[in-house]
């Protein structure tokens, strides 16, 4: 259980259409990540699926049944909010028990499910505490616990890690991925962070201004982006784009080359430039090189010994070159 099908779904706020007709299939047990810059409509799309917003047109099917007009509680979906939305006056136990209590489950079932959820999420020692006495990561786990006990058809996550610090974010990312492997439930995850998308997703949906730019596995998107937007959004550091004569040599309006697909040499190569900033991370070196085509980012090995002001030659790996036409579509 846990298939979600969007058919021609649109959403308008007043006269402004934020989501033009959109079709999407989310398969059972998939970990789907909606990713895109802020304001691209990814959270709105999630809220449409959750039922917290009404669709302006189209249909939403959950497990083959039309759920377009069902209230949120009847869609058997559970959501984890960005602010966690824990009930501050209730203990952790009561927070997790709340959906079961609302569903009028009997006390024995409630206790068993809470114990189970607490065990999975390492919350057993905190059940009597209030959310105010917990750390960010623990609150996050309580919010997930509240979602787990309902045994939903799918989990919806709305930027759940954006309130955590960097180290904790990496941890929770791992925990959510592990949770997905353990529960094998469909998960829909919204984020603006392409690293989260790449690391967690089975399937990434790249959104831009309410439109789906591309759907595919992380590596598909990385290897063969359908257009310039996806090419620039997926991958870190960002892909370099070069236009004009250099692109015309390759019969394209724009060519794109990822920083990791450029060879650096101090003596010879295709493009000449000057190092602007070099960031030595130990394992990698990021070079910001000023060339005649503008700023080119290069990712080299950790042992590169180049510093600001040094002359450098760059040679792109032609087999990894991405070509785009004037409309920005991949050729």
Partner 1 sequence: MSTHASRAAARLMISPSVILLFLWMAVPLGMTLWFSFQRYNLLMPGQTGFVGFQNYEYFLTDPAFFTALWNTLFLVGGVLLITIIGGMLLALLLDQAIFGQGIVRVLVIAPFFVMPTVSALVWKNFFFNPVSGIFAYIANFFGFPAYDFLAQAPLLSITLIVAWQWLPFATLILLTALQSLDSEQLEAAEMDGASIFSRFIYIMVPHLSRAATVVILIQTIFLLSTFAEILVTTNGGPGNASTTLTYLVYVQSLLQFDVGGGAAGGIVAVILANIVAIFLMRMIGKNLET
Residue 278: count of CB within 10 angstroms of its CB? 20
| Residues 8-47 interacting with partner 1 (rule: CB under 8 A) | none
What distance in Å separates the CA atoms of residue 244 and residue 168, rounded to the nearest whole number? Answer: 44
Considering the complex, what minimum distance in angstroms separates the CB of residue 182 from partner 1?
22
Is residue 103 a contact residue for partner 1 (CB under 8 A)? yes
Is residue 132 a contact residue for partner 1 (CB under 8 A)? yes
> Nearer to partner 1 by C-beta: 31 or 155?
155
> Nearer to partner 1 by C-beta: 130 or 323?
130
Q: Which residues pair with 6 in a beta bridge?
A: 24, 60
What's the distance, Cα to Cα, between the start and end of the chain in Å?
39
Instruction: Convert residues 283-302 into a mask of x (bound to partner 1 by CB under 8 A) and - (unbound).
Output: --------------------
Is residue 1 a contact residue for partner 1 (CB under 8 A)? no
> Dihedral through CA 64, CA 65, CA 69, CA 72, nearest 10?
-80
Considering the complex, what minimum distance in angstroms separates the CB of residue 190 from partner 1?
14
User: Which of residues 79, 144, 206, 264 is near partner 1 by CB under 8 A?
Assistant: 79
Contact 60, 11 (CB under 8 A): no
Binding piece for partner 1, criterion CB under 8 A, among 31-39, 65-73, 165-173, 238-246: 65-73
Kindly determine how many residues on this chain lie close enough to bind partner 1 according to the rule CB under 8 A: 25
| Residues 44-63 interacting with partner 1 (rule: CB under 8 A) | 50, 52
Long-range contacts of 84-88 (CB under 8 A, 24+ apart): 84/131, 84/139, 84/140, 84/142, 84/143, 84/160, 84/163, 85/143, 86/131, 86/139, 86/142, 86/143, 86/146, 87/131, 88/130, 88/131, 88/132
Binding piece for partner 1, criterion CB under 8 A, among 18-26, 96-104, 110-118, 219-227: 96-104
> Nearer to partner 1 by C-beta: 32 or 143?
143
Considering the complex, what minimum distance in angstroms separates the CB of residue 74 from partner 1?
8
Contacts of 236 (CB under 8 A, 6+ apart): 194, 195
Binding piece for partner 1, criterion CB under 8 A, among 33-41, 83-91, 114-122, 259-267: 83-91
Is residue 2 a contact residue for partner 1 (CB under 8 A)? no
Is residue 82 a contact residue for partner 1 (CB under 8 A)? yes
Considering the complex, what minimum distance in angstroms separates the CB of residue 30 from partner 1?
21
Considering the complex, what minimum distance in angstroms separates the CB of residue 234 from partner 1?
29
Is residue 99 a contact residue for partner 1 (CB under 8 A)? yes
| Residues 146-185 interacting with partner 1 (rule: CB under 8 A) | 146, 150
State both tokens at 307: 């510093």
Is residue 200 a contact residue for partner 1 (CB under 8 A)? no
Is residue 72 a contact residue for partner 1 (CB under 8 A)? yes
Is residue 128 a contact residue for partner 1 (CB under 8 A)? no
What is the binding site for partner 1 (CB under 8 A)?
A: 50, 52, 71-73, 77-79, 81-83, 85-90, 98-99, 102-103, 130, 132, 146, 150
């Amino acid at each position: 259980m846990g298939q979600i099908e969007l058919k021609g779904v649109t959403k308008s706020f007043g006269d402004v259409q934020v989501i033009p007709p959109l079709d999407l299939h989310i398969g059972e047990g998939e970990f789907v990540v909606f990713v895109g810059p802020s304001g691209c409509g990814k959270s709105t799309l999630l809220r449409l699926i959750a039922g917290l917003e009404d669709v302006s047109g189209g249909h939403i099917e959950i497990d083959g049944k039309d759920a377009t007009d069902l209230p949120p509680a009847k869609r058997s979906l559970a959501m984890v909010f960005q602010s966690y939305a824990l009930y501050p006056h209730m203990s952790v136990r009561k927070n997790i028990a709340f959906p079961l209590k609302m569903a009028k489950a009997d006390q024995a079932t409630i206790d068993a499910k809470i114990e189970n959820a607490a065990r999975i999420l390492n919350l057993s020692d905190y059940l009597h505490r209030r959310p105010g006495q917990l750390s960010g990561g623990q609150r996050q786990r309580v919010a997930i616990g509240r979602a787990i006990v309902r045994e939903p058809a799918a989990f919806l996550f709305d930027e759940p890690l954006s309130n955590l610090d960097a180290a904790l974010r990496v941890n929770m990312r791992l925990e959510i991925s592990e949770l997905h492997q353990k529960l094998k439930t469909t998960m829909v995850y919204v984020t603006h962070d392409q690293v989260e998308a790449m690391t967690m997703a089975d399937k990434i949906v790249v959104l831009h201004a309410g439109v789906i730019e591309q759907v595919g596995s992380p590596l598909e998107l990385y290897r063969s982006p359908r257009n310039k937007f996806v090419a620039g959004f997926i991958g870190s550091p960002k892909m370099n784009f070069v236009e004009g004569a250099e692109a015309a040599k390759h019969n394209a309006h724009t060519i794109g080359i990822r920083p990791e697909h450029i060879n650096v040499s101090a003596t010879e190569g295709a493009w000449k430039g000057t190092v602007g900033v070099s960031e030595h991370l130990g394992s990698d070196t990021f070079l910001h090189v000023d060339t005649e085509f503008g700023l080119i980012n290069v990712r080299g090995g950790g042992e590169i010994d180049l510093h600001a002001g040094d002359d450098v030659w760059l040679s792109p790996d032609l087999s990894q070159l991405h070509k785009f036409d004037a409309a920005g579509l991949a050729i």
